[in-house]
């Protein structure tokens, strides 16, 4: 499989969201009669969207509001929320910085160590609202922070890194054993990120309760430019979905996959589901909410790296409330608000009653889908051509 790119070397053709489109179904369904909910670790969530563990997106207040609207929001246990008792001034400083200054400033402000007492405090603040508390850490800190998170009452623990390979080799630090971590954990463990069939399957076999899919597609991520690695999200999601289905057939255990990154509009999210996602994780789309702590700015988890940042701070603006972005009514014309409404209408158009049905949607390669007939939008810089 693949095409020749040179003598003796083949490369596989992969696809991104902008290159495909969904085909309407032979039947259609009233959007009000479809069910866009998804199940994770025995619980059902009515909004199949997870807010990314980014400091410009999720703080305690945002996590609570997201949960009450039916979704999930991941709090980064190695972010400003656990380094500073009151990070308000820090967040304000980052949002006001000039582009040349932003990365340097973020690196400086992330140098103070994480305070474990703040990990406990933040989790308890979320649980006080009687909603799901989902928190994340990098593999090197996973064993320690997982224990702390569980003791504080967290419901889900996420181990997230640039690439979560099932086998990691290092002589400089203790390697996280995902199998042992999942086995010992009393709460579900979500692991990411992966982009291949084999990697996804092996993480599921190690006991992951869900696997995050995507390397480098995020709006604030520069991994693909800095390191040259990544797989376009359409192909990565399709491959991961195949691994999930094989694992289910083999074991009888259904492990959800969550497409993470590369989606800015409802259309992108709908395509992710059609490719096989059970849920999606988004950052920039939710960083635009009035409730987001980034004040209209968004930056990746690898941005503070002192040696080689693989992220940048971007300005996404503030366009509406979290409720408007998730549930509407939309006040923009470009597909960035009422994301759940977009999912439900798209499900109705392709004849899918559930997310599992949505995963069976016919997909076509159509790179001109976003430009065909849009000459006036492009000329006037409105709608899809802002």
Radius of gyration (Cα) for the chain, nearest Å? 20
Active site residue 221: yes
134-137/72-76 β-pairing: parallel
Residue 86: its pLDDT value, please?
96
Active site residue 14: no
E strands within 145-225? 156-160, 189-194, 210-213
Residue 373: its pLDDT value, please?
84
Q: How many residues does the chain have?
A: 386
In the chain, the number of structural domains is 1
Q: Is the pLDDT of residue 305 over 90?
A: no
Cα–Cα distances in angstroms (integers) from residue 346 to residues 29, 31, 268, 327, in the given order: 10, 8, 11, 15
Cα–Cα distances in angstroms (integers) from residue 209 to residues 41, 159, 364, 371, in the given order: 7, 11, 31, 39
Distance CA 65, CA 73 (A): 9
**Segment 270-291 mean pLDDT:** 98
From the list 295, 315, 353, 356, the catalytic residue is 315
**Segment 15-40 mean pLDDT:** 97
**Does 242 reside within a domain?**
yes
> pLDDT tens digits, residue range 190-216?
999 999 999 999 999 999 999 999 999
**Does 336 reside within a domain?**
no
Residue 244: its pLDDT value, please?
98
**Does 361 reside within a domain?**
no
Is the distance from CB of 376 to CB of 383 less than 8 angstroms? no
**Does 37 reside within a domain?**
no
Where does the pLDDT of residue 346 fall: very low under 50, low under 70, confident under 90, or very high at 90 and above? very high
Where does the pLDDT of residue 158 fall: very low under 50, low under 70, confident under 90, or very high at 90 and above? very high
Distance CA 254, CA 276 (A): 13
Per the prediction, the chain carries an average pLDDT of 95
Which residues, other chains included, contact 381 with Cβ-Cβ below 8 Å and sequence gap of 6+? none
Cα angle value 267/319/271 (rounded, 5°): 10
Q: Is the pLDDT of residue 322 over 80?
A: yes
Cα angle value 197/201/202 (rounded, 5°): 120
Distance from chain centroid for Cα 57: 11
**Does 369 reside within a domain?**
no
Distance CA 139, CA 96 (A): 31
From the list 221, 238, 275, 297, the catalytic residue is 221
**Does 27 reside within a domain?**
no
Residue 114: its pLDDT value, please?
97
Residue 313: its pLDDT value, please?
94
Residue 168: its pLDDT value, please?
85
Q: Is the pLDDT of residue 376 over 80?
A: no
**Segment 282-288 mean pLDDT:** 97
* Domain CATH code at residue 262: 3.20.20.70
Residue 169: its pLDDT value, please?
84
- The better pLDDT of the pair 57, 223 is held by 57
Buried b (16+ CB within 10 A) or exposed e, 362-374: eeeeeeebbeeee
Q: Is the pLDDT of residue 57 over 80?
A: yes
Q: Is the pLDDT of residue 385 over 80?
A: no
Is the distance from CB of 72 to CB of 50 less than 8 angstroms? yes
Question: Among residues of the chain, what percentage have pLDDT more than 90?
Answer: 83
Partners of 282 in beta bridges: 51
Domain that holds residue 283: 45-319
Q: By mean pLDDT, which of 80-84, 105-109, 270-274 is the weakest?
A: 105-109
Q: Locate 254 and state its tokens.
A: 């259904």
Q: Is the pLDDT of residue 174 over 90?
A: no
> pLDDT tens digits, residue range 102-155?
989 999 999 999 999 999 999 999 999 999 999 999 999 999 999 999 999 999
Give this prediction's pTM.
0.95
Residue 19: its pLDDT value, please?
96
**Does 243 reside within a domain?**
yes
Q: By mean pLDDT, which of 127-131, 135-139, 162-166, 359-363 is the weakest?
A: 162-166
**Does 115 reside within a domain?**
yes
> pLDDT tens digits, residue range 237-266?
999 999 999 999 999 999 999 999 999 999
Residue 148: its pLDDT value, please?
98
């Amino acid at each position: 499989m693949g095409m020749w790119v040179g003598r003796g070397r083949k490369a596989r053709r992969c696809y991104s969201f902008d290159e495909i489109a969904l085909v309407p179904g032979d039947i259609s369904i009233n959007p009000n009669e479809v069910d866009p909910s998804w199940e994770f670790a025995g619980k059902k969530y009515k909004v199949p969207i997870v807010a990314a563990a980014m400091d410009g997106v999720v703080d305690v207040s945002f996590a609570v509001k997201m949960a009450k609207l039916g979704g999930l929001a991941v709090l980064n246990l190695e972010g400003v929320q656990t380094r500073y008792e009151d990070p308000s001034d820090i967040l304000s400083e980052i949002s006001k910085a000039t582009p040349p200054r932003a990365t340097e400033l973020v690196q400086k402000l992330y140098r103070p160590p994480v305070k474990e007492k703040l990990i406990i405090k933040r989790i308890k603040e979320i649980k006080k609202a009687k909603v799901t508390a989902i928190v994340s850490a990098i593999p090197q800190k996973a064993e320690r922070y997982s224990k702390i998170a569980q003791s504080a009452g967290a419901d889900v623990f996420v181990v997230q890194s640039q690439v979560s390979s099932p086998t990691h080799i290092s002589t400089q630090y203790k390697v996280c054993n995902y199998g042992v971590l999942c086995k010992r954990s009393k709460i579900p463990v979500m692991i990411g990120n992966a982009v291949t069939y084999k990697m996804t399957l092996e993480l599921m076999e190690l006991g992951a309760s869900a696997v995050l899919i995507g390397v480098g597609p995020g709006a604030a991520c520069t991994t693909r430019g800095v390191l040259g690695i990544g797989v376009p999200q359409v192909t990565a999601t399709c491959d991961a979905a195949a691994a999930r289905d094989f694992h289910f057939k083999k074991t009888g255990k259904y492990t959800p996959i969550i497409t993470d990154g590369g989606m800015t509009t409802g259309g992108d999210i709908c395509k992710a589901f059609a490719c096989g996602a059970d849920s999606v994780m988004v950052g920039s789309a939710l960083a635009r909410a009035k409730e987001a702590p980034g004040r209209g700015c968004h930056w990746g988890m690898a941005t503070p790296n002192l040696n080689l940042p693989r992220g940048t701070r971007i300005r996404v603006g503030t366009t509406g409330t979290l409720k408007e972005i998730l549930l509407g009514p939309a006040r923009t014309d470009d597909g960035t608000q009422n994301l759940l409404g977009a999912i439900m209408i798209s499900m109705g158009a392709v004849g899918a009653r559930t997310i599992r049905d949505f995963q069976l949607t016919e997909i076509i390669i159509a790179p001109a889908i976003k430009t065909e007939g849009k000459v006036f939008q492009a000329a006037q810089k409105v709608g899809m051509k802002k």
